[in-house]
């Protein structure tokens, strides 16, 4: 953008840029007549001070960044709304950056935060992020960071998570109580801490109840591949009688695979999904869900970050705050 | 963030900041020995050049901004994916800003773009934005702007839209062909150009077919209020036999109101919604939709913006590019 610079004003008035800069900042080193002349021309030329230079001076940009994998998932869009609700009250801008599950993009985005672009960072890491070295680096450089949902074990800061292990255990024991004996757990992004916790909760319930023919199946990112995979699982010997879809985007996959095979949910297969979709209750049949406190998690992460920014404390506490998910029982897991 | 500045290096080496800056930029004005000394200390102190100062110099930030109302709507999250797919290929960062349908926030966000923070802007305006004065201002200051979906008539630049009038007309005539005689069109944000076009398409079909007891009803932003409103409409005399939900978030409202009143979709009421939700086909019953080309619209808007940035042309063409929406006919509008 061809904006007016201090240099332009200096040239037009035959002054040095330093004099113009000081005049614009009302420095006592500059005479009133010069100040008046500079300010008038600045107004005429629509001069805008560079907020980044100014934020470097003040070490403050009044902006926080939210870095997350995607927005085409209701958990993240609701979490953003929770974050923005707090930021709005504080008069902060929120910059949203998407990693699209790529560690390389996450690193590139974080390297943009040097030099005062943002005052703080809320992050939910990509599925490729198995170590938080790049996050520790920005913390070491003075940036306060709070994790929400997907975190890195090796980064000592505040983390807002939900009880993934317990809620996955709860979902699995619910299906067992409803009569399921062969349960398949559909998994994506197995390297994430939240995925591991959910798998552990599932395995715990399966072991406690000594179920055989139950286990974890890895899906990929392609809708059509996943439909084929689920149809293959449901067409084989020892057909499962229960499915846990560990992420939202697997929900339509299971419904459509069952429809193609003319299998009835819940008569043939019972289903529980991890999802925040508002349409869960108008699906055919209505879906039993583990619903994460997405808005609250975003709100809490932002509240802690702003409390820190207000107090300008040295470092955020290395603590993990757990907000519980809820099991909503609906028709998709009803007894026959 | 307490980062190393040019001043810090200058002080440590007893040089002027200008000399350090030129040394770091490999200026021929600076001797090799000095350059070496400066660069070594810069590396030691982990000095990071200020990308904004540098972008002011180059007039380039390698960043574009996307300003839109919200992400909790599948149209916008898919449009973002279309934009990011293009930006990734071009090596650009994408900053996403949400206005939450507030003109004040939209103006505040745009005023942040001065001084080279971003090279270009893709925008879908808030429902409060009835005039594009603030957008014309950033264009006048040299920022290239492309609209997608929600645009301002009074801003002469490139706009990527869909055929809202035609697709609303198509949805209405579809319901009429299916036997509906009393159709209610549920509307939100009536001041938006896209809303007006959709209402006009509805009214055109109603007038052509000389239907009485049909009309537009304004909803608000509260889920529960809207359920009560729709229940009231469906409980009155001359109960409608068809509903058009003009935005995604009204879909669950209609399903739940019908469920509460024990009215059957499509036997009692036929329904068409404007939505990009992937769950449309697994709802009870599967939903007839007008589906906007969200990904393609984002992709096209970004492609045009980057073509402009590559060529550094003076201004974007004042043209409107229309990508058609599609009607997907499913069970919710089936004949009795």
| Local structure of A69: helix, strand or coil | coil
Q: Write the residue in B88, B100, B115 that is nearest to A3 by C-beta.
A: B115
Least Cα distance to B127 among B159, B162, B100 occurs for B100
Show residues of chain B in contact with A259, CB under 8 Å.
282
For residue B282, give how far its alpha carbon lies from the nearest alpha carbon of chain A (Å): 6
- The size of the A-B interface in CB pairs under 8 A is 162
In whole angstroms, give the CA distance from residue B38 to residue B97.
Answer: 39
The answer to whether B281 contacts A114, with C-beta atoms less than 8 Å apart, is: no
CA atoms B298, B301, B307, B308: torsion sign: negative
Cβ neighbours of residue A205 under 8 Å, at least 6 residues apart? Answer: A168, A169, A172, A173, A176
ipTM over 0.95: no
pLDDT on residue A313: 65
For residue B199, give how far its alpha carbon lies from the nearest alpha carbon of chain A (Å): 25
pLDDT at B243 > cutoff 60: yes
In whole angstroms, give the CA distance from residue A227 to residue A215.
Answer: 18
The answer to whether B74 contacts A78, with C-beta atoms less than 8 Å apart, is: no
* Average pLDDT over chain B, rounded to an integer: 90
Chain A residue with minimum CA distance to B223? A278
When pLDDT is averaged across residues B6-13 and rounded to a whole number, the result is 86
The answer to whether B279 contacts A251, with C-beta atoms less than 8 Å apart, is: yes
Reported as a single tens digit per residue, the pLDDT across B107-145 is 999 988 876 779 999 999 999 999 999 999 999 988 999
Q: Write the residue in A46, A141, A255 that is nearest to B1 by C-beta.
A: A141
The answer to whether B114 contacts A3, with C-beta atoms less than 8 Å apart, is: yes
A90 sits in which H/E element: helix A74-90
pLDDT on residue A221: 87
**B55/A294: higher pLDDT:** A294
Show residues of chain A in contact with B249, CB under 8 Å.
278
User: For the purposes of burial, counting CB atoms within 10 Å of the CB of A171, is it exposed (0-12), middle (13-18) or buried (19 or more)?
Assistant: buried
Show residues of chain B in contact with A285, CB under 8 Å.
284
Cβ neighbours of residue A260 under 8 Å, at least 6 residues apart? Answer: A227, A231
Average pLDDT of adjacent 10-residue blocks, chain A of 336 residues? 74 84 78 87 77 46 93 92 94 94 93 82 96 94 94 96 97 98 95 94 97 93 94 93 96 96 97 95 96 98 94 81 98 92
Q: Write the residue in B113, B114, B279 that is nearest to A283 by C-beta.
A: B279
Q: Write the residue in B3, B93, B285 that is nearest to A141 by C-beta.
A: B3
In whole angstroms, give the CA distance from residue A174 to residue A171.
Answer: 5
The answer to whether A282 contacts B108, with C-beta atoms less than 8 Å apart, is: no
CB A306 within 8 A of CB A256: no
pLDDT at B17 > cutoff 90: no
Chain B residue with minimum CA distance to A259? B282
pLDDT on residue B3: 67
pLDDT on residue A1: 43
In whole angstroms, give the CA distance from residue A24 to residue A5.
Answer: 12
C-alpha distances in Å from residue A329, one per residue of A23, A251, A291, B9, B288: 67, 15, 11, 63, 27
The answer to whether A95 contacts B97, with C-beta atoms less than 8 Å apart, is: yes
| Local structure of A211: helix, strand or coil | coil
DSSP string of B254-281, one letter each residue:
HHHHHHHTTPPTTTT-EEEEE---GGGG
For residue A211, give how far its alpha carbon lies from the nearest alpha carbon of chain B (Å): 30
- Residue A90 CB neighbour total at 10 angstroms: 14
Show residues of chain B in contact with A77, CB under 8 Å.
70-72, 77
pLDDT on residue B18: 77
A174 sits in which H/E element: helix A164-177
For residue B241, give how far its alpha carbon lies from the nearest alpha carbon of chain A (Å): 20
Sheet holding A183-187, edge to edge: A215-218, A183-187, A242-245, A270-274, A288-291, A326-328
pLDDT on residue B53: 44
Substitution target in A84, A249, A279, A314 with the highest count of B β-carbons within 10 Å is A279
Question: Burial code of B162-200, b = ≥16 C-beta within 10 A, e = fewer?
Answer: bbbbbbbbbbbbbbbebebebbbbbbbbeebbbbebbbe
- Beta-sheet pairing, B288-291 with B145-148: unpaired
pLDDT on residue A53: 44
**B52/A94: higher pLDDT:** A94
For residue B11, give how far its alpha carbon lies from the nearest alpha carbon of chain A (Å): 17
Reported as a single tens digit per residue, the pLDDT across B312-333 is 666 789 999 999 999 999 999 9
- Token representation of residue B164: 């809202």
Question: Burial code of A238-255, b = ≥16 C-beta within 10 A, e = fewer?
Answer: eebbbbbbbbbbbbbbbb
Residue with tokens 């008539």, as numbered in its chain = B153
DSSP string of B74-113, one letter each residue:
HHHHHHHHHHHHHHHHHT-EEEEEE-TT-HHHHHHHHHTT
List phi, psi (to 5°) of A326.
Answer: -125, 145
Chain A residue with minimum CA distance to B115? A50
CB A290 within 8 A of CB A167: yes
C-alpha distances in Å from residue A267, one per residue of A274, B252, B302: 20, 25, 47
CB A317 within 8 A of CB A277: no
When pLDDT is averaged across residues B275-292 and rounded to a whole number, the result is 95
The answer to whether A1 contacts B143, with C-beta atoms less than 8 Å apart, is: yes
| Domains within chain A, CATH numbers bracketed | 6-49 (no CATH), 59-162+294-323 (3.40.50.2300), 164-292+327-333 (3.40.50.2300)
CB A52 within 8 A of CB B50: yes
For residue A16, give how far its alpha carbon lies from the nearest alpha carbon of chain B (Å): 14
In whole angstroms, give the CA distance from residue B292 to residue B149.
Answer: 10
CB B119 within 8 A of CB B60: yes
Chain B residue with minimum CA distance to A96? B96
Q: Write the residue in B1, B3, B52 that is nearest to A52 by C-beta.
A: B52
- Token representation of residue B98: 């949400």
Reported as a single tens digit per residue, the pLDDT across A52-86 is 344 444 456 789 999 999 998 899 999 999 999 99
Least Cα distance to B155 among B172, B166, B143, B170 occurs for B143
CB A195 within 8 A of CB A149: no
| Local structure of A312: helix, strand or coil | coil
In whole angstroms, give the CA distance from residue B221 to residue B219.
Answer: 7
CB B192 within 8 A of CB B150: yes
- Token representation of residue A287: 């879906």
Show residues of chain B in contact with A252, CB under 8 Å.
278-279, 281-282
């Amino acid at each position: 953008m061809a904006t007016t610079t201090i240099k332009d004003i200096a040239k037009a008035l035959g002054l040095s840029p330093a004099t113009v800069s000081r005049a614009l900042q009302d420095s006592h080193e500059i005479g009133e007549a010069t100040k008046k002349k500079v300010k008038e021309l600045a107004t005429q030329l629509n001069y805008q001070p560079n907020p980044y230079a100014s934020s470097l001076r003040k070490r403050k940009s009044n902006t926080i960044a939210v870095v997350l994998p995607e927005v085409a998932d209701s958990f993240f869009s609701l979490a953003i709304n929770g974050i923005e609700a707090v930021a709005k009250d504080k008069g902060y801008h929120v910059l949203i950056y998407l990693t699209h599950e790529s560690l390389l993009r996450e690193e590139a985005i974080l390297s943009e935060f040097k030099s005062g672009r943002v005052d703080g960072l809320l992050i939910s890491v990509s599925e490729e992020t198995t170590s938080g070295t790049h996050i520790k680096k920005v913390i070491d450089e003075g940036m306060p960071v709070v994790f929400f949902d997907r975190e890195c074990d090796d980064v000592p800061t505040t983390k807002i998570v939900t009880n993934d292990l317990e809620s996955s255990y709860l979902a699995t024991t619910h299906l067992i109580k409803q009569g399921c004996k062969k349960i398949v757990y559909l998994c994506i992004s197995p390297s994430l801490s939240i995925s591991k916790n959910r798998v552990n909760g599932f395995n715990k319930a399966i072991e406690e109840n000594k179920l055989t023919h139950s286990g974890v199946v890895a899906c990929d990112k392609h809708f059509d591949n996943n439909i084929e995979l689920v149809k293959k699982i449901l067409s084989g010997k020892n057909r499962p009688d229960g499915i846990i879809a560990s992420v939202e985007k697997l929900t339509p996959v299971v419904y459509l695979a069952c429809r193609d095979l003319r299998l009835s949910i819940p008569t043939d297969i019972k289903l529980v999904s991890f999802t925040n979709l508002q349409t869960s209750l108008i699906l055919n049949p209505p879906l039993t869900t583990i619903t994460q406190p997405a808005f609250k998690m975003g709100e809490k992460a932002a509240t802690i970050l702003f409390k820190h920014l207000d107090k300008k404390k040295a470092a955020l506490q290395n603590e993990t705050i757990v907000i519980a998910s809820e099991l909503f029982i609906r028709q998709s897991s009803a007894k026959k």
